Amino acid sequence: MAEEAPKAEEQKKEKKDIVKLLMIITQLITLLLVVGMFVYFKFFFTIPTVHTKNVLEEANVVKEATKPKQAVVKLEPFVVNLLDEGGRRFLKVTIDLVVESEEVSKEVQERLPEIRDLIIMCLSDKSFNEISDQTGKMRLRKELRLKLNNLLKKGRVNKVLFTEFVVQ
C-alpha cells in the first residue's frame, strides 16, 4: 500500500504535466494562428479598389446619361432703386438662371415679363444693408430661386447666378 500511494501521486503529477503541456501547445497554436492572420491581412490581402472605382465610374456615367441637360437663361440687366431713405442708392444686377432643361428655358422665355416683374419687385424691396455682404447676396439668391420656382409650372430653377452686382 505504501508503494501504491507514491504511484498514484506520480500518475496525478504526470496527468497534471500532460494537461499543462496540452494547454501550452494550444496556446502556441492559437498564437501562431493569430500571427499568421495578421501577417496575411497586413502584407498579402488587398481590397480590390480598382474594381470598386470602375463600378463607381460606371454608375456616374449612367447617372449623367439619364440626367436631363441643364440650360442657362441669361436675363437683361436690372436697375432698381433700393429701399433706403430718399431712394438715393440703386442696384444694377445681371442675373443668369440655371434651369432644369431646355423646356423650362422656353417657359422662362415665354413668361419673361412676369419673371422680370417678380425680380424687380423683390430687388426693390431690399435695403443696402440687406444685400451689401455675401450672406445677404446668398439670401437674395435663395429668395429669388424660391419665388421663381413658385411661378414656373413646367420645371425648376436650379441656381440663380449674379454675373454683375453693383450698388451705388
CATH class of this structure's domain 71-167? alpha beta
- Residues 77-95 have pLDDT tens digits of 999 999 877 768 899 999 9
Rounded distance between C-alpha atoms, residue 90 and residue 135, angstroms: 19
pLDDT band, residue 41 (cuts 50/70/90): confident
Q: Enter the pTM of the model.
A: 0.60
Across the chain, what does the average pLDDT equal?
86
CA separation (Å) from 22 to 8, 25, 26, 27, 85? 21, 5, 6, 9, 95
* 17 has pLDDT over 90: no
* pLDDT of the residue at 135: 93
Beta-sheet strands, E only, within the chain: 71-74, 78-81, 90-99, 157-167
When pLDDT is averaged across residues 18-46 and rounded to a whole number, the result is: 89
DSSP string, 11-36: HHHHHHHHHHHHHHHHHHHHHHHHHH
* Domain regions of the chain by residue span: 4-66, 71-167
pLDDT band, residue 26 (cuts 50/70/90): very high
When pLDDT is averaged across residues 50-63 and rounded to a whole number, the result is: 64
Reported residue count of the chain is: 168
Share of residues in the chain with pLDDT > 70 (%): 84
DSSP state of 44: I
Rounded distance between C-alpha atoms, residue 150 and residue 168, angstroms: 31
- Residues 111-151 have pLDDT tens digits of 999 999 999 999 999 999 899 899 999 999 999 999 999 99
Of 6-15, 69-78, 100-109, 144-153, the one with minimum mean pLDDT is 6-15
